[in-house]
């Protein structure tokens, strides 16, 4: 089979690979999979010189040229930060070798019972994998939907605890941007324990088949064990404990005490919904991404829970200032939402500091509390955040931020609307309207004790669809949390759609 010209730059000579792997020595072998043996070695490739992973096709495993070329083509066309990157390939002397980025932490299945894989790290791995799979399911108008067919923990690679989906050789194409995609297969493939029972029974592959497999992985991460190797059905076990509200009995003991109850509630609900017998009740991958983001946000908030609640600043006001404040609060025209952001600053500019501070807080606090992390935050921290909010206007068709740009501000929308989409092809376009907010990446980064100094990257592009007014927080969010020594956050609910009742039959 001849190579298409657009892939020629990825070709790596066999002699280079043999030199890097010491002629495929056992010392260079780092694993075995459904494709064959996997080796590591250092060589020059399309993106430079680095350590790489090399997957050597073994025809005894039942896969041949079609799977090899499918993976070359797909990984060259479908590019995403949470999908493994193809660096090159070799097809000399009847040898078929794929060259990937080397994931130093290897695959997720090897770390399910690793104490270093904290609950926060587990959430990040699951979130990254969910984003990669969501991209494959809805890559955009110009590409085809990809159904992976073999989602499992051994096909999720970790590099510094950032997940990347691998092994697309068994995947199938379907039309993109349609609610339903049905692919009838002549033979069912996948891995026992992860395969959707409906797919095994009918041979009909749908995107919800991948969702089922991903739900199995989520419960593996929670339980710290693989889905096979024990007596009985893993999925039956986890569903039973979920319905009986006894998940703590099967959560891996090393992470049980560190999981925030609200984080567990969100995470387990997502995983349970993925395993629904009725595929129409399973969530979309984009819904799973949003749910996992919420679970991570709840978990990261525990870093603040040990701090004590301080008294609201308005209780320190002198009696006459309290009276003034009460008079102001009786007039709705002083509220930002009623006046659309016009003139509030001039209204309160000449007031004494204390009532001015609290009026600003009163104007903004309702919007802030739409954010789960802020919902029951202590008054001092809310005061500090409100003081840093500033009005901001955007004209029609102006861009607020583009995907990949650093996020250093949060915007709370007062009027107008935003179009939210990704530029890498992920079809999750939507609208943000009055009362919504954007910039949640900054919030998660700010309260994460493991976050670096650089601001997080935006996961989407935001564009004003009409003249837009809002209030902006552009100061360092992390600085606020670090400065406030007394704060408290309580979380009692999730923001997931209620797809089911706990006792519904599966």
Q: Which of 27, 58, 94, 150 is catalytic?
A: 150
Closest CA relative to residue 88, chosen from 20, 149, 146: 20
Q: 240: annotated binding-site residue?
A: no
Collect all residues with Cβ–Cβ distance below 8 Å to 443 and sequence separation of at least 6.
297, 371, 373, 410, 477
Please give the Cα distance from 252 to 256 (Å, whole number): 6
Give the pLDDT of the chain (506 residues) as one tens digit per residue.
454 677 788 888 999 999 999 998 988 888 776 667 888 888 888 777 888 888 888 766 556 677 788 778 777 777 788 888 888 898 888 888 888 888 777 789 989 999 989 998 999 999 999 999 998 887 664 467 788 888 999 888 776 777 888 877 666 766 555 555 555 555 667 788 899 998 888 888 888 999 999 999 999 999 999 998 666 699 999 999 999 999 999 999 999 999 999 999 999 999 999 999 999 999 999 899 989 988 988 887 764 443 333 333 333 334 444 444 444 444 433 344 444 444 444 444 544 444 445 555 566 777 777 776 676 666 777 777 777 777 777 877 788 888 878 888 888 887 788 888 765 444 456 778 877 888 877 777 776 666 666 778 887 888 888 777 777 776 666 666 655 533 433 433 433 444 344 444 44
138 is catalytic: no
Locate the domains of the chain by residue range.
5-101, 108-304, 313-483
Asked: is 313-483 a CATH 3.30.450.40 domain? The reply is no
| Cα–Cα distance list, 283 to 55, 193, 214 (Å) | 33, 20, 11
Alpha helix ranges (H) inside 138-249: 197-202, 207-223, 234-243
Q: At what angle do helices 261-274 and 234-243 cross, to 10 degrees?
A: 130
| pTM: predicted TM-score of the whole model, two decimal places | 0.64
Burial 270-293 (b: 16+ CB within 10 A, else e): bbbbbbbeebeebbbbbbbbbbbb
Instruction: Count how many Cα atoms sit within 13 Å of the Cα of residue 124 in the half-sphere of its side chain.
Output: 17
In this structure, which topology does domain 108-304 adopt according to CATH? Transferase(Phosphotransferase); domain 1 (1.10.510)
Burial 449-465 (b: 16+ CB within 10 A, else e): eeeeeebbebbbbbbbe
**DSSP per-residue letters across 332-371:** GGGSHHHHTTSSHHHHHTTS-HHHHHHHHHHHHHHHHTTS
Q: Are strands 29-32 and 36-45 parallel, antiparallel or unpaired?
A: antiparallel
Please give the Cα distance from 156 to 132 (Å, whole number): 10
Please give the Cα distance from 185 to 176 (Å, whole number): 18
Q: Which CATH superfamily is domain 5-101 in?
A: Phosphorylase Kinase; domain 1 (3.30.200.20)
Residue given tokens 């040229």 in the structure block: 65
CB 134 within 8 A of CB 189: no
Angle at 195 between CA 189 and CA 200, to 5 degrees: 65
Q: At what angle do helices 285-300 and 207-223 cross, to 10 degrees?
A: 20
Longest dimension (CA), the chain: 90
CB 90 within 8 A of CB 17: yes
Burial 149-180 (b: 16+ CB within 10 A, else e): bbbbbbbbbbeebbbbbbbbbbbbebebeeee
- Write out 376-407 in H/E/C secondary structure: CCCHHHHHHHHHCEEEEEECCCCEEECCCCEC
**DSSP per-residue letters across 407-432:** ---EEEEEES-EEEE-TTS----EEE
Please give the Cα distance from 489 to 443 (Å, whole number): 14
């Amino acid at each position: 089979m001849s190579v298409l010209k657009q892939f020629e730059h990825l070709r790596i000579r066999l002699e280079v690979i043999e030199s890097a792997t010491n002629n495929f020595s056992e010392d260079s072998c780092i694993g075995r999979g459904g494709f064959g043996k996997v080796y590591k070695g250092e060589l020059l490739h399309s993106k430079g010189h680095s350590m790489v992973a090399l997957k050597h096709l073994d025809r005894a495993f039942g896969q041949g040229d079609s799977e090899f070329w499918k993976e070359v083509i797909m990984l060259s066309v479908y590019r995403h930060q949470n999908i493994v990157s193809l660096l090159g390939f070799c097809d000399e002397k009847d040898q078929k070798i794929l060259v990937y980025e080397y994931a130093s932490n290897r695959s997720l299945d090897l770390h399910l019972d690793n104490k270093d894989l904290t609950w926060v790290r587990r959430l990040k791995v699951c979130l990254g994998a969910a984003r990669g799979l969501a991209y494959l399911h809805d890559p955009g108008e110009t590409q085809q939907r990809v159904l992976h067919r073999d989602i499992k923990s051994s096909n999720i690679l970790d590099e510094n605890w950032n997940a990347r989906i691998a092994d697309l050789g068994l995947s199938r194409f379907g039309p993109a941007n349609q609610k339903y995609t049905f692919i009838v297969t002549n033979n069912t493939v996948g891995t026992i324990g992860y395969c959707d029972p409906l797919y095994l029974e009918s041979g009909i592959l749908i995107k919800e088949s991948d969702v089922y497999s991903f739900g199995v992985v989520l419960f593996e991460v929670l339980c710290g064990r693989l889905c096979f190797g024990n007596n009985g059905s893993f999925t039956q076990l986890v569903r039973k404990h979920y319905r009986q509200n006894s998940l703590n009995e099967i959560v891996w003991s090393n992470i049980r005490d560190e999981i925030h109850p609200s984080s567990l509630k969100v995470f387990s609900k997502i995983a349970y919904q993925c395993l629904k017998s009725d595929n129409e009740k399973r969530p979309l991958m984009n819904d799973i991404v949003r749910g996992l983001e919420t679970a991570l946000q709840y978990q990261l908030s525990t870093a603040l829970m040990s701090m004590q609640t301080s008294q609201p600043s308005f209780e320190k006001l002198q009696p006459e200032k309290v009276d003034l404040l009460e008079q102001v609060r009786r007039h709705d025209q002083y509220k930002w939402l009623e006046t659309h952001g016009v003139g509030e600053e001039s209204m309160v500019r000449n007031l004494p500091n204390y009532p001015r501070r609290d009026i600003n807080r009163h104007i903004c606090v309702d919007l802030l509390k739409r954010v789960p992390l802020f919902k029951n935050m202590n008054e001092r921290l809310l005061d500090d955040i409100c003081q840093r909010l500033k009005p901001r206007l955007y004209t029609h068709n102006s861009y607020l931020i583009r995907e990949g740009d650093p996020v250093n501000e949060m915007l709370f929308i007062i009027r107008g609307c935003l179009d939210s989409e990704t530029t890498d092809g992920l079809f999750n376009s939507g609208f943000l309207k009055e009362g919504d907010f954007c910039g949640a990446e900054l919030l998660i980064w700010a309260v994460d004790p493991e976050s670096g100094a650089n601001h997080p990257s935006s996961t989407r592009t935001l564009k004003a669809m009409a003249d837009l007014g809002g209030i902006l927080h552009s100061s360092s969010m992390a600085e606020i949390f670090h400065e406030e020594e007394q704060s408290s956050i309580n979380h009692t609910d999730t923001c997931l759609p209620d797809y089911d009742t706990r006792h519904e039959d599966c």
